[in-house]
Structure 1
């Protein structure tokens, strides 16, 4: 209960000031107080350097990742303005580094400092400074060198200057503050991905990434002389369906009739392929992970124009439904990079734009260019139309198959009437129920008599099941053995394929068993069947392994009988131990029989009875290693399998079933 003496009145309202606006609420500015927010704070500094280079000042930007998590960005631009600003009656360095919403990018006219910029909001440099443990700034103008030092969002020592003839540019080194962010260990992969994307959309601008490794630095460079055109050609490869296209346009647009007019520049590179697909959107160099306006424009234009072409050329079958964007994007490699001097981002992290004017201009431009392209390149237009129709019809066929399979796997019929030879148990308590997956009808008979019918059920399998690593999902689910097993388990399947995602109806709460026990003979055939069953579970229901629900019933290799006792040895070591223990006594030893040949009481003792049986739990910690072995021995890596057999085959010679 809240304290009764607390009041909420005119003195209860407070305002965050200065650095606290970022340090106490970093997620408001950077989208997160975790590693993503820290990454975005780094991008804000990088974006200023990119804006300078795009205006023609500098052709190279170097970003350094130090082992102590500090970062340095160095450009060769004009140098950040720091001198006294008579208009604002303050020094520019104070405005840029210590004031939110201050910068050189607020001009709405065409005479502003930057025509198109990443940092339109004026938050980045100041916000990153505020969120730093320290920040050191070195600025060269060609005549003067300026230095600044900040600690925890506050300037220390003011502005220092000295004469210098070094080339102009700005170098900023800072360390994100762990008092602000929960994690500052930004991986090298983030820098490399970001710099590659920036190189793609900034033609001819070289990015140098240096990552400290001990006392040296690993260096990587990113440069695309022709920007998005080079990127699309690189992705499409030599065997694309069509040649790569590059289109460019500039428009003056409005987001609403009563809103001011602004400029937008649109660059589009694309190709069609039946092997690869890729769609990327950028605005003012920022990667639009969630798209927004460009994505809506592309969906509209490509579907409209390709659908029109299919209709005009009678490519559709009678009464056939029209294409969707899913059919187009499966064979489309598209990169759109747009720029505008007025941008409406979905939020400060700039992952989507919402400008209506940009969307309308882009839609019109794409429709027009696609129409001209199809007219001027009829052979390529035919290839595109044919591939999109193939994608559409394959999608529709797969959809029918998925719906039929989903119905088959999730039928509400009584399970005993729809799975042949399945023997259920009496208990309805899923925390006690066990299912034994056994090999063949003979084992079914023995296990059925040996089980405890209150909580133990039996599911026989007929022969060797399909290798689920080498088969596609459609083939897997045509196997009655596998679909019967999935029905009996009750929890559905985990399907990773995008094309079959509708089948992924897995819910461990619907699992009907506490233990899933694989019970096969202790011979070569039994081991193979067990491996194939584990492969099926690994491919279709890996969560069951992760949750420790899968077990192997360990069958004894030998029965050792003395006058008074029967001993079961599960390996050679145990056999030797029992024989030494019986030294001086008469005993007989024989290889243990297969499951179907055991007497029910023997079966109960060795396999079914929780008090005397041995179960091996399939541990989740082994799942990755097991997966690698499955992939090697049962997957498509034929050369790897040959190499493994050549190296290790001699270790298994004694176990070969050859005469």
Structure 2
């Protein structure tokens, strides 16, 4: 039989892309997620970051103390007052991959952008891109469209040295994307903390720090209405800076980590080395045998290093991978902290007292755990709220992929799922009512509250995720105010005590239709008011529109498709503890008057026709 021409694999099928084509075709490889600007790691902010990183590198090398950033709509401009790109290489530096001075230690010793991609990716992914360099009374400029050169010019200038870049993300790639000022401001605050004295101006605001990471730690405490137990310890030299304190109103640890000004949200070698050095210093000073969790519980801090050749585990630089720096970094942290403890006996005593208090609480928690297990065994071996499935997840053995558990409220909603679920892979955990708000509570509540404890047992995540029984944990709540509240309470529960579950991408929200629009011939399920309006126009004025208020109102026959192959799931995105804590503290904490004022100020009241 002759081979199908469409499937012929020969020399004609091999294609070589230019660097420009590759960046535009495989955008995610260069900037990570594209997004729409609603998340701080979305692509539009990565483009801005790549340009600002170059200005920061200039400042680190001692050139230019001010950076001007403007964002108007989707058009961005950045002006620094550094040395300026060498005039004869302006076009190459913003358009040719693997071109730049950051391969030369004499010019840039501590740079983030070591791969020669940053500004080139911005250029390739921009609708319009303009660069102008000023050096010694002369300038060179060039304009591009979607990465292709459109014009260039050179001449004399009276402007001070430096580089000006203006760009607008290409809407054909960044569909419906927009910049949000709060995300830009947060990034600029980080830059200011890491580069003491640098002035960053953004749309009329100025960001400047005098005390580096100390300012960052104090701001984080203020945002959470927390008070430090002792004045933060702050150390800084040319390549290492760290700052930390303990707070009585926090759970777990909250750490920011940076490499050459890059926020490493997933930590890496520098953060783990700092933790090890801290533990060694505390144990050596106290002559104790504390565990890391004892030392870091309720700790708020930040660590930043400058490194000549940083190796990141991805293009977006969220985690540092250099292992060769670990030993030296551990020893430096240990030695500096021991010096501090010996010079500041009063502060050292407060730290040791806090660590000992945490160890005692951990021992008490062990007793609570033992009682909870004994109580659970005395009642029944089975968990009454769990309707289990036959197949369970085992990551290590590669089994049970596709298994899931629905967390739902009440027997009515559970009944619809039970009637049409796949008993092999779909389990149901039935909540008795609104879960407890655990944000301001300690971990012992998980053992004292039956529902929280049974949920943890059902998932088998008490100590870690190794025993996780379901690949997907799905929040299946009604699409009304109460249902959304229950969803938020459950998300709070997981972020508070089991954030690794969220970080590893196991937590989801089930999207169910809000409306059913139908006539005699056709039925359309709609997930928004806009979809409802479109469907009603398509089916005509005589169509019937039903609003589903709860999962229990959807018949099992209908519900089957919503948890079957066409199931719509939204993954709950992980945020590093410093980011998540501030958000959850505001919306789920005990600051009721402040939250009420915020709601009243931002409440949108629909205007009736």
Whether 1:27 and 2:28 are equivalent positions in the alignment is yes
Whether 1:220 and 2:187 are equivalent positions in the alignment is no
CA–CA distance in structure 1, aligned partners of residues 437 and 56 of structure 2: 47
Deviations 1:462-502 (A, max 9, x none): xxx999569958569757xx66x997xx998999xx99999
Instruction: Quote the offset at 1:328 in angstroms.
Output: 2.0
Whether 1:245 and 2:195 are equivalent positions in the alignment is no
Whether 1:8 and 2:9 are equivalent positions in the alignment is yes
Whether 1:98 and 2:95 are equivalent positions in the alignment is yes
Change (3 A) 1:534 1:180: closer
The aligned length equals 457
Deviations 1:109-128 (A, max 9, x none): xxx21222222221111121
Aligned to 2:201, what secondary structure does the other structure show?
A: strand
Indicate conservation of the 8 Å contact 1:492/1:505, yes or no.
Answer: no
Indicate conservation of the 8 Å contact 1:491/1:509, yes or no.
Answer: no
Within a 5 Å distance, the mapping from 1:542-581 to structure 2 comes to none
Indicate conservation of the 8 Å contact 1:107/1:113, yes or no.
Answer: yes
Change (3 A) 1:397 1:52: same
Deviations 1:246-284 (A, max 9, x none): 32446xxxxxxxxxxxxxx22223334434553221111
Within a 5 Å distance, the mapping from 1:90-489 to structure 2 comes to 92-108=89-105, 112-157=106-151, 159-182=152-175, 184-210=177-203, 219-235=204-220, 240-249=228-237, 265-276=239-250, 278-310=254-286, 312=287, 322-402=289-369, 404-405=371-372, 413=380, 468=436, 478=448
CA–CA distance in structure 1, aligned partners of residues 473 and 312 of structure 2: 43
Give the alignment's Cα RMSD to 1 decimal.
4.9
CA–CA distance in structure 2, aligned partners of residues 185 and 377 of structure 1: 49
Q: Give ranges in structure 1 of 5+ residues lacking alignment.
A: 84-91, 211-218, 251-264, 317-321, 420-429, 437-458, 517-530, 549-614, 621-630, 644-659
Instruction: Quote the offset at 1:197 in angstroms.
Output: 0.6
Between structure 1 and structure 2, the one with the greater Rg is 1
Change (3 A) 1:58 1:508: closer
Whether 1:81 and 2:86 are equivalent positions in the alignment is yes
Instruction: Quote the offset at 1:333 in angstroms.
Output: 3.1
Deviations 1:424-463 (A, max 9, x none): xxxxxx9xxx959xxxxxxxxxxxxxxxxxxxxxx9x9xx
Tell me which stretches of 4 or more aligned residues in structure 1 moved more than 6 Å. Answer: 490-495, 498-502, 504-511, 533-538, 540-548, 634-643
Instruction: Quote the offset at 1:150 in angstroms.
Output: 0.2
Instruction: Quote the offset at 1:410 in angstroms.
Output: 8.5
Deviations 1:68-97 (A, max 9, x none): x121111112222222xxxxxxxx123202
Instruction: Quote the offset at 1:406 in angstroms.
Output: 6.3
Deviations 1:151-199 (A, max 9, x none): 0110012x21232212222211111113334553232222111111111
The match for 1:63 among 62, 65, 69 is 69
CA–CA distance in structure 2, aligned partners of residues 22 and 271 of structure 1: 43
CA–CA distance in structure 1, aligned partners of residues 205 and 245 of structure 2: 28
Change (3 A) 1:183 1:363: farther
Instruction: Point out the more displaced range, 5-14 or 139-148.
Output: 5-14
Instruction: Give the aligned partner of residue 49 of structure 2.
Output: 43
Instruction: Quote the offset at 1:326 in angstroms.
Output: 2.2
Indicate conservation of the 8 Å contact 1:224/1:231, yes or no.
Answer: no
CA–CA distance in structure 2, aligned partners of residues 377 and 515 of structure 1: 53
Change (3 A) 1:167 1:10: same
Structure 1 length-normalised TM: 0.59
